[in-house]
Structure 1
Amino acid sequence: MLTQRQLFLQHNAQTTLEPLLLEFNKANGMYLYDSQGKKYMDLIAGIGVSNVGHCHPAVVAAVQEQAASYMHIMVYGEFVQSPQVNFAKALADVLPSNLNCTYFVNSGTEAVEGAMKLAKRYTNRSEIIACYNSYHGSTQGALSLMGNEEFKQAYRPLLPGISFIHYGALPDLNLITSKTAAVFVETIQGEAGIRVADQAYFEALRKKCTDTGALLVFDEIQCGFGRTGKMFGFEHFNIVPDILLLAKGIGGGMPIGAFISSREIMISLATNPILGHITTFGGHPVSCAAGLATLQTILNEDIVAGVTEKGLLFKKLLKHPAIKEVRGIGLMMGIVFENFDINKKVIDACIKDGLISDWFLHCSNAMRVVPPLIITESEIEWACSIILKNVEAIA
C-alpha cells in the first residue's frame, strides 16, 4: 500500500523537484503536528496567513456555523449574503473613509488582477508601473507585475504596458506620468527579503500619483491585518492608497482576497460593460465568516498592540557574527546571512529541531520570520535559541 508521501508525489502537481515532504495532520495556535506526533513551531504562519494562529476557536466556530447555514448559492455580486455584507462593513469601519467598498475574491493574486482591471477601467489608461523585486502573485497579469525576470521569462509574452521602478528610489518616481493608470507597490516588500522604504518616499509617491491622476495601489497581501504593528502597513507613513489589496491573513486560514477602493472608483466595474469583473467563488460565505471572525479576534484581543515589542525582542535576541542583519518591521522580518548555502543549512537544521521557516523568492540569503501574531515572549526566546544554536553549528 502506498504511503501518503508516495501518493502525494504520484498524484499531486509539484511546484519544485524537492518538496519538504513534511506530513502534518493537525495544527493549533503556534504549532503544527506531523503524522508521527512531532510538534513544530510555525515561524512563517503558512506564509503570512495564520495571523491569529492555526484553528483559532472563534474562526473555527464561525466556519462551522456558516457552513451549517449555507455555502455557495450564487456568483459574487447578485445576492445579498450577510457574511459578505458584514465583513465588508467591518473592513470599512477600520479603514480610511475613501476605502469603503470591497470586492471579495479568492486569493491575493486575484485581488491584483481585479485591481489592474479596475485601474484601467477607471482611468481609461493602460500603463501600469510596479517595482523591481516585487511579488504580486503568479497568474498571468500578476506575474507581469513581478519585478524578477527569473520567475517570468519562461512564460512570456506577458501583459504589455508594464514598467518598473526601484522601490524606495525617489528619482524613479519621475517615470509616473499622465499616461499611468496605476502604480502597484508593496507597502513593505515581502519576497525581496523584507524591505521598508522611508516616509519621504511614500509621501513623494502619493503626491506624484495625485498630481498625474495615477491610482496608487498598495499591496498589503503579506503585511496587512496587524503584521507590522499597525492594522495596515500604510498607517506607518500617514498616507492612504486609492486601492488596497488584502488576502493571506484576513481569512484566519480560509481562502479569501479583496481589493478595496472608494464607491466612486469601484462602481466603474459595473457599467460599460456590465459585469466588468466576475468571480464564482469570490466572497465565499464561509471564507467571509472566517474573515469577520479573524478581524473581530484581532480587535477584541488587542493582538496588534504587542506586535512591535515582539519584533523588537526577536531583533534583540538574534545577535551573532554570522547574522548580518535582522531586517523588517513588527513581526515581518528577514534574518540575513552571507549566502544562500548558510541560510538553507540553518533552515533545514531548524526544521529538524521543530522550527519551521523558509527563505524569500527574491532574497535567498534571508530567513523568513513571520510567525502568528499570537506568539508569546517565551516562544520567541525558544525560537531564537534554536536559530542561534544552528547558526553557531553551521556558520
Structure 2
Amino acid sequence: MSTQVKSESKNTQPNYENVKAYINQVLGLIEKDHVSTEDAEWITKQTVENFREHVNPGFLEYRKTVTKDTQFAAVEWSDSGSRFKDVNGKEYIDCLGGFGIYNVGHRHPKVVKAVEEQLNRQALHSQDLLDPLRAMLAKILADVTPGDLKYSFFVNSGTEAVEGALKLAKSYSDRTTFIATTRAFHGKSLGSLSGTAKSIFRKPFQPLVNGFRHVQYGDIEMMRKTMEACAITGDDVAAVLLEPIQGEGGIIIPPKDYLKQVRDLCDEFGALLIFDEVQTGMGRSGKMFCAEHYDVVPDIMCLAKAFGGGVMPAGAVVAKEKVFKTWFDNPFIHTTTFGGNPLACAAAIATFNVLIEENLPDRATEVGEYFLQGLKDKALGHEDKVMEIRGKGLMIGIEFHKDEVGYDVSKGMFDEGILVAGTLVNSKTIRIEPPLTIDYKEVDQVIETFGKVLAKVEAK
C-alpha cells in the first residue's frame, strides 16, 4: 500500500527549469512549418505517453488511430479545406468533421483572417463596457434565424447552449417538467445530461436535474399522452427539448409532420419548444437551420459546433422576446466569462459570411444527395451487414446490423485515409459529416473506399 501511495505522489517542489525546457521544446515545434522524422517520432511518443499518464488512458483503448500495443498512433498536426495531415505527413479526407464543427471547412481563410485581425486589436473584452461584435452578431442571428427568434446569449459550447435554454425555460414560467426523447444527445453537464438519453452516460451521475421525462422520438401520441398526464398531475411541461434530426442518436430523421405536431402540442399545453440545432444548424442539413425544412419555429434554439467556423469554440442560445425578456430586469442572472468573446464573435460573423456567400446550405443538399446515393449503391449486395443508409444534406448515417461491423468499416476506411466514426448514442451507426465545401472528387474517393472496405469486411 505504501509503495502505491509513493508512486502516485508528486514532488512538493516543481523543477521549473525542467518544465521551462519542455515548454520551449513544445513551442519550438508549434513554430515549425514542417517537422522532421525525429520530431514526428518525439511528438508521437510524447502524445501517447501523456495521454496514458496525464489525460486519460482510456482514449488509447478507444481510438482506432492507436495500435493495440500503442507503439504507433496517428497524431493530427495540420489541416486545410476538407483534409488534415498527421504528424508523419499522411493525409486524410475528414468525413467526421470534429463531430460537425467544420461546416465551412478546415481553417477557412476568411474565418482565420477575421480572428487574426481581431486578435491584433483585442482578444477578450473587459466585461464592463459594451462589446460591439457581440451586439452585431446578435443582430445577424435575429436576421437569419426562423420566425421571430430575436435575442441571443452567447456561450462556448453546445452543452452550455442547452444549459442556457433550460434556464430560460425555467425563468419563463413556474413549471419544472421537461420532455426529451429517446436516443437524444444534448450534452454531458448535469442539466444537459438530464435531457440526454443514453444510460451509460447518465447512471454514474444520478440523481440528475429533477423533472425530466423521456418519450420515444417520433411518437407523437406518446408525447401527447405524457403531456396530458403531466397536466393532470400538476407537473405541467415547461418545455420540450428536441433535435430536429438526431445526430448522436444515429442520424435519425423525424417522421413527416412530427415536428409540426410537436409545435402544435406545445402551443396547446402552454409549453415552450426548444430545438437543439448544435449539430443540425449552420447549413449542415441543407438549410441554414434544420427547422426550416419542416416550417417550424421553436421558442428557443441552441447553436454551437460549426458556429465558430471550426476556428473558435462558440455557441448561442437564441430565443423569442417573450421568453428572453425574463432576463431583462437582471442581465446577470445567467453569465459567462468567455461566451461571446471578441474572437469567437469575429469567427461566427465570418462563418455566416462564408455560408451565405458560398451558398453552402444549398450545396449541402446537392452534394448530400449525390453522396447518399453513391453510398447506397455501394451497399447493394451487403444487406446482411448494412441495415440502412439515411440522411439529409451532408448529415449522413450508415447503420449496420452489429456494432463490430461498424467499427471494422470505420477502421478500414481510416486505414485508407478516410476519417469517419460512430455516433455516441447509437454505436451501430457511423456518421458522414464532411465540410460542406468537400468537392465531388473527394466524395467519389470516399464512396469508392466505402465499397472497397465493405467488400473486405464481407469477405472477413
**TM-score bracket for this pair, using the shorter chain length:** over 0.9
Contact 2:155 2:314 in 1 (8 A): yes
CA spacing shift, 1:68–1:14, aligned 2, 3 Å: farther
The one-letter code of the counterpart of 1:103 is F
Counterpart mapping for 1:202-221 below 5 A: 202-221=259-278
Deviation at 1:247, TM superposition (A): 0.3
Deviation at 1:5, TM superposition (A): 2.6
Deviation at 1:97, TM superposition (A): 4.1
Q: Which has the larger radius of gyration?
A: 2
Counterpart mapping for 1:266-305 below 5 A: 266-271=324-329, 275-305=332-362
Deviation at 1:38, TM superposition (A): 0.5
Q: 2:106 aligns with which of 54, 63, 71?
A: 54
Alignment match, 1:3: 46
TM-score (norm 1): 0.96
Deviation at 1:274, TM superposition (A): 5.4
Alignment match, 1:392: 455
SS at match of 1:208: helix
Contact 1:223 1:232 in 2 (8 A): yes
Alignment match, 1:150: 200
TM-score (norm 2): 0.82
Please tell me whether residue 357 in structure 1 is matched to residue 420 in structure 2.
yes
Counterpart Cα distance in 1 of 2:416 and 2:426: 24
SS at match of 1:101: strand
Alignment match, 2:430: 367
Counterpart Cα distance in 1 of 2:268 and 2:218: 19
The one-letter code of the counterpart of 1:384 is I
Alignment match, 1:222: 279
Counterpart mapping for 1:107-186 below 5 A: 107-174=157-224, 175-176=226-227, 178=231, 179-186=236-243
Deviation at 1:8, TM superposition (A): 3.2
Contact 1:123 1:214 in 2 (8 A): no
Q: 1:41 aligns with which of 75, 84, 93?
A: 93
Counterpart Cα distance in 2 of 1:338 and 1:250: 34
Q: 2:318 aligns with which of 250, 254, 260?
A: 260
Alignment match, 1:91: 141
Deviation at 1:91, TM superposition (A): 1.3
The one-letter code of the counterpart of 1:6 is E
SS at match of 2:185: coil
Identify the structure with bigger relative contact order (alpha carbons < 8 Å, sequence gap 6+): 1
Counterpart Cα distance in 1 of 2:352 and 2:212: 34
Deviation at 1:139, TM superposition (A): 0.6
SS at match of 1:217: strand
SS at match of 1:324: strand
SS at match of 2:428: strand
Contact 1:219 1:244 in 2 (8 A): yes
> Identity across aligned pairs (percent)?
37
Counterpart Cα distance in 1 of 2:194 and 2:280: 21
Contact 1:270 1:276 in 2 (8 A): no
Contact 1:218 1:245 in 2 (8 A): yes
Deviation at 1:15, TM superposition (A): 5.8
SS at match of 2:207: coil
CA spacing shift, 1:342–1:146, aligned 2, 3 Å: same
SS at match of 1:3: helix
Contact 1:359 1:366 in 2 (8 A): yes
SS at match of 1:73: coil
Indicate the structure with greater helix content: 2
Contact 1:74 1:280 in 2 (8 A): no
Deviation at 1:124, TM superposition (A): 1.6
Counterpart Cα distance in 1 of 2:171 and 2:426: 34
SS at match of 1:364: coil
Contact 1:181 1:214 in 2 (8 A): yes
Alignment match, 1:332: 395
Alignment match, 2:404: 341
Point out 4+ residue stretches in structure 1 off by more than 3 angstroms: 13-17
Deviation at 1:305, TM superposition (A): 1.6
Render the CA deviation track for 1:194-244: whole Å, top value 9, x for unaligned. 111133211211011011111000000000011111111011111100000
Counterpart Cα distance in 2 of 1:275 and 1:15: 39
Alignment match, 1:28: 80
Counterpart Cα distance in 2 of 1:267 and 1:43: 40
Counterpart Cα distance in 1 of 2:181 and 2:74: 34
Counterpart Cα distance in 1 of 2:181 and 2:123: 38
Counterpart Cα distance in 1 of 2:57 and 2:186: 21
TM-align CA RMSD: 1.5
Contact 2:397 2:432 in 1 (8 A): yes
SS at match of 1:327: strand
SS at match of 2:92: strand
Deviation at 1:83, TM superposition (A): 1.7
The one-letter code of the counterpart of 2:53 is Q
5+ residue gaps, structure 1, are none
